[in-house]
């Protein structure tokens, strides 16, 4: 017995609203659920159906912005490499392996080198679920046809996380690759009109964060071509784990709520990536200003160093209901924004210099408690 189309659509809409209500109220602590139709739009964009990808880039991400961000990628990468080359706690063997991996990381800015051609897919107006099914089938058949062929690196690897229309950036340890979509490279994360400090310590720090993921507690177990392989000398592993425990202790001491502490073990990889991200961004900023002294300006009474750390803190500003705070503290490997805003900066000596923070001040972190990793 068939189900009338109108009744079928009504049932689907009720299910969508029920799901959205559960996610909003139970998982996120929101008072109102998102419109399911907005979710449909997001799903379309995440599949990169025509015309989401190329037209979005053409309208919202200029060639000048792409070149500027790629230049920043090079500067942040060079800062990491310079620090790694001077690293004193790694043995020569491990340091050389780390340098080799760093040199081979592939970073794609904005959009893939090659767009997927969807012209063969039958896209029909008003047929949302049919479109999803046909696009999914097209992608599945396309991937199967490529099985056993040469590895290609000219497309974004993970459509769920890093399409040009997705606001995210991600490191893939299996490919030793980073993808930074065009949708993420919009104000306030990246603003072509902003001063150097703001851009270096927002998008530049995110770039550094993603690069650091290749050398964090999880990423360090993969080599330069994405093989799961232990390339660390044992004594270096011991030293690494000792330093990361400083991040665990720092995070675990932070009170998210009066009766709730952060989970330092759960968030250690992301916290480590934050420490690397802001450190490399700050170092790259200082080198940039030395060669561009005309841009080393005091703005609104704040130096470029001060604006760097303020921009970093503002990037993590958010406001969450108590229920959602408890939920993400228990399950999310990312620390809450109120912690990320300052915690990583406390491991960078320049932070204390910029604001003249001394022992006894609220933001002070003793040198013995600062992680010295990358």
Task: Cite the active site residues.
Answer: 210, 274
User: Any idea what DSSP says for residue 336?
Assistant: P
Give the DSSP H/E element, type plus range, for residue 108: strand 106-110
**Two structure tokens written together for 58:** 């053409």
Residue for token digits 């904005």? 110
**What phi, psi does 282 have (nearest 5°)?**
-65, -45
Q: Which residue stretches of 165-261 are H helix?
A: 196-199, 205-212, 234-252
Neighbouring CB atoms inside 10 A of 28's CB total: 17
Task: Quote the CA–CA distance of 258 and 195 in Å, as a whole number.
Answer: 38
Handedness of CA 319, 195, 181, 57 (dihedral sign): positive
Dihedral angle of Cα 145, 150, 151, 157, to the nearest 10 degrees: -20
| DSSP count for the chain of H helices, then E strands | 14, 5
Find out whether the peptide bond into 105 is cis, omega within 30 degrees of 0. Answer: no
Query: Which regions of 223-312 does DSSP assign to beta strands (E)?
Result: 255-257, 260-261
Number of Cβ within 10 Å of residue 15's Cβ equals 11
How far apart CA 87 and CA 94 sit, in angstroms, is 11
């Amino acid at each position: 017995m068939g189900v009338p189309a109108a009744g079928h659509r009504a049932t689907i809409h009720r299910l969508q609203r029920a799901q959205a209500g559960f996610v909003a109220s139970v998982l996120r602590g929101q008072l109102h659920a998102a419109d399911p139709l907005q979710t449909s739009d997001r799903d379309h964009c995440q599949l990169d159906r025509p015309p989401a990808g190329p037209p979005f880039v053409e309208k919202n991400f200029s060639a000048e912005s792409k070149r500027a961000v790629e230049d920043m990628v090079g500067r942040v990468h060079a800062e990491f490499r310079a620090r790694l080359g001077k690293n004193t706690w790694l043995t020569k063997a491990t340091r050389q392996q780390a340098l080799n991996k760093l040199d081979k990381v592939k970073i794609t800015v904005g959009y893939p080198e090659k767009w997927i051609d969807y012209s063969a897919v039958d896209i029909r107006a008003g047929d949302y679920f049919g479109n999803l099914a046909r696009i999914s089938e097209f992608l599945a058949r396309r991937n199967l046809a490529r099985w056993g062929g040469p590895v290609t690196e000219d497309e974004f690897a993970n459509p769920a996380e890093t399409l040009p229309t997705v606001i995210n950036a991600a490191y893939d340890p299996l490919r030793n690759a980073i993808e930074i979509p065009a949708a993420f490279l919009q104000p306030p994360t990246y603003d072509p009109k902003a001063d150097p400090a703001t851009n270096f310590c927002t998008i530049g720090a995110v770039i550094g964060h993603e690069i650091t993921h290749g050398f964090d507690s999880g990423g360090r177990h993969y080599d330069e071509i994405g093989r799961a392989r232990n390339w660390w000398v044992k004594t270096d592993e011991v030293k690494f784990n000792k330093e990361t425990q400083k991040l665990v202790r720092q995070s675990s001491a932070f009170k998210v709520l009066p009766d709730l502490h952060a989970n330092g073990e759960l968030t250690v990889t992301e916290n480590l990536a934050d420490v690397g991200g802001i450190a490399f961004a700050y170092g790259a900023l200082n080198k940039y200003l030395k060669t561009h002294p005309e841009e080393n300006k005091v703005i609104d009474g704040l130096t470029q160093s001060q604006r760097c750390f303020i921009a970093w803190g503002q990037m993590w500003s958010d406001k969450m209901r108590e229920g959602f705070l408890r939920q993400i503290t228990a399950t999310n490997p990312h620390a809450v924004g109120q912690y990320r805003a300052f915690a990583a900066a406390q491991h960078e000596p320049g932070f204390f210099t910029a604001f003249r923070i001394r022992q006894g001040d609220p933001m002070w972190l003793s040198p013995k408690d600062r992680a010295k990793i990358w």
